[in-house]
Amino acid sequence: MKSETYCPIPFHHTIVRTNNHCSVCCAFQDKDHVEETGVNPNIHVNDLTDLSEYLNSDAIVEIQQKMLNGEKVAGCKVCYERESFGYESVRTKELKRIIDNEHSDVIYEKAISGEKLDLTYLEITFGNFCNLACRSCGSELSTSWYEDDAWMHDNTEYGKYFIKRWQGHGKLNVTRDFNVKDLKDLKLIKITGGEPMLHPNFYKFLGAMPQINIACEIFTNTSHVPKKRLLNSLLKFKKIKLFLSIDDIGTGQEYMRHNSNWDTTVKSTIEWLKWTKDNTDKVQLILAPTFSIYNAESVPRLLDWWLNITNDYLGEDADRVIGGVHSNILSRPEWMQLFLHKRKEEILKQSYHYLKYLKKSDLYGASKMTNVVSGFINYLDAPVSKNKLKILREEFVEITTHLDRRRNQSLEKVYPKLYEDFKEEFEEFAKRD
């Protein structure tokens, strides 16, 4: 029987980050793990003869053994936290994804027998080139954050959230020339960014891969309308799951994902929907928002927009080819977390009403959204100490003020209710600043 802390990810997967280091997964907190254990699980990608060596390295084997023994792993705190709130974690999503796949048993049998493990799932970001500077992001994953990050670091007291070490280093790019040994056992590749489809190495990487036997998950910020060359290149994969990173509609999306244009986002979404309709045997389209204190009240309007546009373009196919919602509830940075909201009860009431609406709705795909709303409710209602709440709310007000000024944006105009909740604090900080 698999232990309660067992996760398949460290047994068949690695992520290659923009700094050229392999790590456990996108949710793994390297800093937490090093602080608690003194062991750094990261390995430079160019120090590996082939990528499967990472799975069999001493630091990763230690993590694997802890999971098999039912022990918690220091770097996995984000998943434990999400699961405690009844929300899907990276771990539970991965367990669900492969539970009906015979590959799941192969992974586990190799794990408990101590056999050499094969890399069958690779996550890669080619670099940090990105044309957007999303509120939930930073310089490590977006070149468009460079100047704002450095300015916030130099001109505010929030250096722990804003860094400048990327400043002057140019774009971050993964430098490995991936070879046949790296890719020979792959069953799934996940491509993230930056904006991966705008990166110059994107087509080079695709050209080197035996896509026909590999499934692909790829994230896009919908800041560009896909061209025919891109659409055709993706169809070489066995299966494609395309995740559209959209946090809100209209000016909300433009605020959350700085430099985005809502009209372009809609045009991009429509083009992806048309492509999906023409390739329903291969393609699954998924909405991938990031929820925080900013857009907490926007969940119903975003999901309504998604339901309507997918039903308009796909009709009854939406039930089959729209893969629900892959949402990310922010746990970092702390000053953006959902529980900082002052009107929790009102938003909870709104969310419960919306959950009932989804369960009764006759729109195709509505039933697939109930889990994300239920998880959102649990996260919003998470307990937190009064002292921590006070500190983080102060940070929210001050950082929002600085970023709004820096970017010529206005929380008051885009999210007036949220601004009104903190109006006294915003005005007080303006006097001191």
Least confident span in 108-117, 191-200, 252-261 = 108-117
Residue 219 sits at φ, ψ, to 5 deg, of: -105, 140
3-state secondary structure of 191: strand
- Which residues, including other chains, have CB under 8 Å from residue 29's CB and lie 6 or more apart? 74, 75, 76, 77, 78
Per-residue confidence at 385, pLDDT binned at 50, 70, 90? confident
pLDDT, greater one: 164 or 159: 159
Per-residue confidence at 100, pLDDT binned at 50, 70, 90? very low
Q: How far apart are CA 321 and CA 1, in angstroms?
A: 33
Burial label, 387 (beta-carbon count in 10 A; 0-12, 13-18, 19+)? exposed
Q: Which of 129, 138, 123, 137 is nearest to 26 (CA)?
A: 123
The confidence score (pLDDT) of residue 181 equals 72
Q: How far apart are CA 54 and CA 59, in angstroms?
A: 9
What are 223's two structure tokens? 């800041």
With 50 as the cut, is the pLDDT of residue 79 above it? Answer: yes
Mean pLDDT of 62-90: 88
- Which residues, including other chains, have CB under 8 Å from residue 124's CB and lie 6 or more apart? 15, 16, 174, 189, 190, 191, 192, 205
Q: SS3 helix, strand, coil % of the chain, rounded to 5?
A: 50, 10, 35
Token pair 């060596």 is at which residue? Answer: 53
* Identity at 8, one-letter amino acid code: P
Side-chain half-sphere CA neighbours of 265 within 13 A? 25
Best-predicted range by mean pLDDT among 75-84, 167-176, 273-282, 379-388?
273-282
Q: How far apart are CA 386 and CA 291, in angstroms?
A: 22
Q: How far apart are CA 280 and CA 298, in angstroms?
A: 29
Residue 402: alpha-carbon gap to chain centroid: 25
Least confident span in 30-34, 182-186, 244-248, 416-420 = 182-186
Side-chain half-sphere CA neighbours of 142 within 13 A? 21
Concatenating the DSSP letter of every residue in 201-269 gives: THHHHHHTS-GGG-EEEEEE-S-SPPPHHHHHHHTTSSEEEEEE---SSTHHHHHHEET--HHHHHHHH
Q: Which of 306, 309, 268 is nearest to 289 (CA)?
A: 306
For the chain, the domains span: 9-119
What are 96's two structure tokens? 């669900």
- Which residues, including other chains, have CB under 8 Å from residue 11's CB and lie 6 or more apart? 55, 64, 107, 108, 110, 111, 117
- 8 Å CB contact between 245 and 219: yes
Mean pLDDT of 137-158: 91
With 90 as the cut, is the pLDDT of residue 278 above it? Answer: yes
The confidence score (pLDDT) of residue 168 equals 59
Best-predicted range by mean pLDDT among 110-114, 179-183, 259-263?
259-263
The confidence score (pLDDT) of residue 433 equals 73
Mean pLDDT of 184-206: 84
- 8 Å CB contact between 159 and 93: no
pLDDT tens-digit readout, 298-353: 999 999 999 999 999 999 999 888 877 888 888 778 899 988 999 999 999 999 99
What are 289's two structure tokens? 């928002």
Q: How far apart are CA 385 and CA 128, in angstroms?
A: 36
Per-residue confidence at 403, pLDDT binned at 50, 70, 90? very high
The confidence score (pLDDT) of residue 122 equals 92
The confidence score (pLDDT) of residue 253 equals 98
pTM, two decimals, is: 0.90
With 50 as the cut, is the pLDDT of residue 165 above it? Answer: yes
- 151-154 long-range Cβ contacts below 8 angstroms, 24+ apart: 151/406, 152/399, 152/402, 152/403, 152/406
- Which residues, including other chains, have CB under 8 Å from residue 284's CB and lie 6 or more apart? 239, 240, 241, 242, 276, 321, 322, 323
pLDDT, greater one: 172 or 97: 172
Q: How far apart are CA 338 and CA 87, in angstroms?
A: 13
The confidence score (pLDDT) of residue 169 equals 63
